[in-house]
Every structure is written in C-alpha cells, then in structure tokens.
Amino acid sequence: MRDTLQAIRELARLCWTTDRRKLVVALLLMLAEAAAAPVTALVLGSLTEAVSEAHASEVLQLGLLVSLLVIVGLTGNHFAHVLYFELGAQAFLSLDRELIDLSNGSAGIAHHENAEYSDRITVLHQELNRISSNSMVALWHSISLAIGVVCTTALLVDTNPWLLFLPFAVFPPVLLGRQAERIISSCRHRMAHHTRAAQHIIDLARGVSSAKELRVLGLRSMLQSRHAESWREITRGLWLAELRATVLRVAGQLIFAVAYIAGTLLVVRAAVQDEASVGDVVLVIVLAAQVNQQATTGVTLLREFQRLAETLADLRWIRALVGQRPSSCSTIEAPSRLIDGFRLRDVSFHYEGSDVPVLRDVNLHLPAGAMVGIVGENGAGKSTLVKLLCRFYAPSTGVIEVDGTDIHRLDVLEWHSAISVGFQDFSRFELTAGRTVGVGDLPRLDDRRAVEEALDRTRASDIVDQLPDGLGTRLGRSFSDGTELSGGQWQKMALGRTMMRRHPVLLILDEPTSALDAQAEYQLFRQYAESARTVAERAGAVTVLVSHRFSTVRMADLIIVLSGNTVAESGTHAALIAADGVYASLYRLQADQYD
C-alpha cells in the first residue's frame, strides 16, 4: 500500500509542478461533479416523498434541483476532463524526456547491455505512453470518489446507523483487486523479454536495412512463426494471470453483493415495520448502488495506481542503475592542450556479465601530437580500446591517463566535448545535410562555412553538390521529402561530423570508412592526417586510426598491433617490418593481394 500511496503523492507533485492553475481549476470542477451524485440521491428521496404526499410546488422545485444537479454532474466532469487530460500529457512528457535523458545522459553505456535494463525500459516505455492519461483520470476520479464516499456514508448513517457496514464491505473487493493486479503486473514483467523479442522481429520486418536480406534469405515465414511463438508465450502467460486475477476480483464482488442485499433488506424490513419511509427505501437502494459503483471504481483506480507505482519503481531502478548525472562526477577540467599525451597503465577490461578479458595488461604511451594506428584481427579489442578512451566504460583494472591525470577524474561532459570520434557503427541523423554534419560541433550547428570546410576535409563536398537543396536537403527515408544517401555517402557525412570540432585533444576514427574502397580510404585518411597534424600542432592532439587496411595504417607515427587480448607489438611501420613479427606477416599478406 505504501508504494501506491507514494505513487499518488509523486503524481500529485508532478501535476503541481507542471501547471498548478490547471490543477486547481480542474479540482474545483471535480468537487462540484463529485458532490452532485450523492446530493442527487438525497433530493430524489425527498422528491419521492413529495410525490407520494402530492405536494405539487415542492415536486416542481425538487425536480428542477435534480435537473440542475444532473447537469453539474455531467458537465463538471466533462470540463475537468479536458483540463486534466492536458495536464497529464504535459506531466508525462517530462517523464518521457527523463527517459531519453536516462538512456543517453550518462557517461557510460554499460547499462545498454544489461538485459534487465532492456526489459524494464521496454515495459516503462509502453507504460508511460499508456498511463499518461489513465493515471491522471485515476487521480481525478479518486478525488471525486473520496468526496462521493464521504457523502454517501453520511447519508447512509443518517438513514440507519447499521448501514455503516456497507462502505466497509468494499474492503474485500478492493484488497482482492489489489492482489489481482499484483499477479498481472508480475506476469507483465516476466513476459518482457518475449515482448522485446516480438518487437525485435517487427523492427526487422519493417526495417529498410533488413529488407534485402529477408528477401534473399527467404526469412519471412521464419520471422512470422517466431513472432507468433513469442506472442503465444505472452498471451498464454497473460491469459493465465488474467484468469487468476478475475477469480479474485469476482470473489471480492460477491462478498460485496452479499452486504448490498443485506443492507437493502434491512431498510425494506424497517419500512414494512413502519420504522422507515418509502423515500428511505429509495434512498438506500440508490446509495447502496452508488457504494457498489464506488467499490468498482475504487478497484479500477487502485489497479491504475498500482501500475503507476510499478512504473515509477522501474523509473527509480533505472535511475539508480544509470547512476549519477555525469556533470556532478568531477570538476577537474579536461586539458585543452596535450604535452605528454595518453598513458595506459596495466589496463585490463572485461564486459559486464563476462569474466573473459577483452583487453589484458595493456601498457601504452600515445604521445601528444602523434598519429596512432591500431590493427588486429576481428574481435581483438580495437573498438573496446576506443570505447575506454572515450570513457564509455572504465577499465576493470589499471588506469588511462591524459597528461598524468586519470581520465575518469575529469569532468566527463568536458571530456566528451574535448574529443572527436567517427564510430564504426555511426548514426544516420536524418536532418538536413548541413545539420547532419553540423551536429559534430553543436555551437556551430548552422555555421555554413564550418560545415563546408568539414565536408571539404573529408572529400564529401561533391555529395552535397548533387543534393537538390544542397546543405538544406533533408536526408533519409523517414520523411517524404528526404533524400536517401548510399552507405559510403552516409559514412562521409559522419566523417565530416568528426571534422567539425576545432581543437579536439583526441581524434578517433574507428573504421568509419569500411564502405569506401582502399584507394578512397587511403586518400581520405591522408587528407585527414594532414588536418590532424595541424590540430596536433595547435593542441598536441592524438589521432587514433583503427583500420584493417595496412596501406592506410602505415602512415601512422605509431602502430599498435592487438592480438590475444593484449598489445602484441608496437612501433613505426619501418620498425615493425624490420622486426618481422605479426604486423610484418599480415602486411605482406595484404600487400600480396594487391600485387
């Protein structure tokens, strides 16, 4: 019960901070509407007596009063509904915003690989969309219900003090309803991974990127049967839970029905013995029906609040997992100019949930101003090393220092704005071409000259020249006026982004040119290297190139060869060839392919 009450308090606080004026007006309308129903019952009782005693003028007055109360009851709710619906949308928009913030506002990305996180965020996202209006409706109805219950109880007790047991008879259905909701909620959480699997299949089936493979591999019916399998699991689980919940709810309602019949018989008997009037009988029948209605509403509202409590509990769990807001972690500023560069000291790393080290005892010095190439077979740990340098993960042991300071002691937001990275799995921002590149340096998002220079440096200006509205052309398929680019063109736009920041201290290119041919990649990296050297002279920046193409990597000042989860060799191209080790043999192998 405590969690439900806490959820109601949180919801009320959310409404208050969102728009207190709307909250107060909606509340007043709701009060009028809530009071209208029991007062109507009272007036109906008097009206019945006036009719039976044939008091025409009283009948007329009471009839008008009943009409007025009915109008208030109907319209008050209607207007209040408009207000609290809007208030709900505003309030839950802020929670949606928090969800985006929690997913992407943290320094690290480890939570994205946590299965429980994925399950909970799936449920949370679905629930936030659903409860945005439902919870608000529940909040208002619970206020109206509370007023209604007080009025109804007072009228019942006034008619016959024994009838006090009727409002108490709502407890069994309410408590059993609560238990029923618990059963459904735990089932929903148990089914979350099936829901996610089904959603993944739908995404695959709808997605443009998978459309080609699905056709060639003939995977349509396999997807259909796997989707059906997931849904069968979900519906079987939910059906059983719903069945158990229904049994509990019906049991609660039956208990109340017994009390209802007993209450009615009590007044009928009193009327037969002339201890109560016909009006009293009508009043009690109407009130008992209202108590029944209130109990049903109470169970529904409680169910809604319980779902809200579950949702808010998921939100709290995710907040705790994702951790503190990065800005509050540290106040040490990231260096704007490097003197020594980066040093990795005994760095080992394994991903969460695995004991197998992806990197082991890595000791490296990436000197300020150097261009560093990283090579190694698939899965050697190149991208992982890049992610550690970006601070998306912390080393399991060891430290990474920049100019003698552990990078994890730096303000992470500053660190992220001091580096520039082209990722292997880059994003396709479906914005205008100019902004797709401009987001590489947000303060200069719409700086046309800066964008053009960045595109020049990545040899991507010709792509924009061919677009119907140049930099103003919207890219991508999500919009009807969007222009789609080829894989290589998207990559060049992503590379342009990495060229936007003026003075990064670390430039990383993690195979962002895989869609380009070897010659194009070489030319591009050469140009990139020239720009990088200019940046390096100004800021002592380190440039890291990750590539499987040795023709590209050989231009680096320092080449690091990763093998067997650690650094197998490092040195210049000439030194590594002379050493005749792993690098030399891989280099020869690739060179032979081009002969």
Ligand X SMILES: Nc1ncnc2c1ncn2[C@@H]1O[C@H](COP(=O)(O)OP(=O)(O)OP(=O)(O)O)[C@@H](O)[C@H]1O
Q: Residue 366 in contact with residue 382, Cβ under 8 Å?
A: no
Neighbours of 2 (CB within 10 A): 7
Residue at token pair 């680096």: 556
Per CB under 6 A, residues contacting ligand X are: 113, 351, 354, 358, 376, 378-384
**Shortest Cβ distance from residue 398 to ligand X (Å)?**
16
**Residue 49, C-beta contacts closer than 8 angstroms, at least 6 positions apart:** 277, 278, 279
For ligand X, give the closer residue by CB, 121 or 270.
121
For ligand X, give the closer residue by CB, 411 or 510.
510
**Shortest Cβ distance from residue 360 to ligand X (Å)?**
12
Find the helix packing angle between 2-18 and 20-52, rounded to 10°.
Answer: 110
For ligand X, give the closer residue by CB, 379 or 443.
379
C-alpha 293, offset from chain centre? 37
- Rounded distance, CA 152 to CA 182, Å? 29
**Shortest Cβ distance from residue 417 to ligand X (Å)?**
24
Q: Residue 535 in contact with residue 520, Cβ under 8 Å?
A: no
DSSP state of 360: E
For ligand X, give the closer residue by CB, 178 or 382.
382
Strand-pair category, 397-402 with 566-571: unpaired
Helix segments in 273-393, DSSP class H: 278-322, 382-390
For ligand X, give the closer residue by CB, 75 or 114.
114
**How big is the chain, counted in residues?**
595
Closest CA to 342 of 401, 420, 285: 401
**Shortest Cβ distance from residue 563 to ligand X (Å)?**
10
- Rounded distance, CA 437 to CA 451, Å? 6
**Shortest Cβ distance from residue 559 to ligand X (Å)?**
15
**Shortest Cβ distance from residue 114 to ligand X (Å)?**
10
**Shortest Cβ distance from residue 352 to ligand X (Å)?**
7
The three-state DSSP-derived secondary structure of 112-167 is HHCHHHHHHHHHHHHHHHHHHHHHHHHHHHHHHHHHHHHHHHHHHHHHCHHHHHHH
**Shortest Cβ distance from residue 375 to ligand X (Å)?**
9
For ligand X, give the closer residue by CB, 32 or 362.
362
**Shortest Cβ distance from residue 348 to ligand X (Å)?**
13
For ligand X, give the closer residue by CB, 300 or 424.
424
For ligand X, give the closer residue by CB, 132 or 384.
384
Residue type, 20: R
For ligand X, give the closer residue by CB, 91 or 385.
385
Helix and strand tally (H, E) in the chain?
Answer: 20, 10
